[in-house]
Amino acid sequence: MSSVGSMLRKVESKNLDPKHVTFACPSSVSMCKQHGKKSKSDQRKRQTHQQSGKEKKTKYSEQSAQLLQNEELLCELEHNSKIMEEKIRANRVLAAEALNGMGDLICQFAEVDNKSNFLEEKISELENVKFSHTEPEELDHLVETVEKRVNDYTEFDCFLSNLADRMGEASDTGDSVQLFYEALPTVEKMLTGLSL
């Protein structure tokens, strides 16, 4: 047992000996392999990184050129859009003026039509009335006056119908507003004659 005890003391003394130090170190072969693998993969990474950098630069240049071209197209489209909006506004104003004028004419036509109907009723009433107290000359004059007024209203009605037809045909070419303004003095003159 003394030999076992002396061995234990030796082992213990070795472990406690400050001069004796052990380092853990990997085997040199595996270390070289790992270092070689790392250096190859680093080179590949650097090469792919450089290639991808060049590709990114060319791609960025292409995208910049395309972006510039798209911005120019967008500016041109915005300019054309503004021109179209101005034309549309101008056409809407002209159309509104024409519609207002036509509305006025329609109102005047309705008024004239009402007067025409009233006169026709008066004529039929006069035809049914016995004119015992009226002189034949007065009666003839009254009939002539009524016939003249009916003819004037009929003529005005035909004029407005023809004007409406011509404006409808001219609306395809955009000349309906011009026709309206050309016919306006005649319409006013005829209305003045009818209102007397």
pLDDT given at position 98: 83
pLDDT given at position 91: 86
Which H or E element spans position 178? helix 176-195
Q: What residue has token string 């025409």?
A: 116
CA 172 – CA 36 distance, rounded (Å):
85
- Longest CA pairwise span in the chain (Å): 179
Q: Is 144 exposed, middle or buried (0-12, 13-18, 19+ CB in 10 A)?
A: exposed
- Position 7, amino acid: M
Cα 142–Cα 145–Cα 148 angle in degrees, nearest 5: 150
Q: What is the pLDDT along the chain (196 residues), one digit of tens a residue?
A: 455 555 555 555 555 555 555 555 555 555 555 555 556 666 666 667 667 777 778 888 888 999 999 999 999 999 999 999 999 998 888 888 888 888 888 888 888 888 888 888 888 887 776 555 667 777 788 888 888 888 888 888 888 888 888 888 877 777 777 888 888 888 888 888 776 5
The pair of structure tokens assigned to 31 is: 């270390």
pLDDT given at position 171: 77
pLDDT given at position 167: 82
From the CB of residue 156, how many other CB atoms can be counted at a distance below 10 Å? 21
pLDDT given at position 37: 57
pLDDT given at position 71: 93
Segments making up each domain of the chain, as ranges: 52-195
Contact 149, 115 (CB under 8 A): no
Residue 1 is given by DSSP the state: -
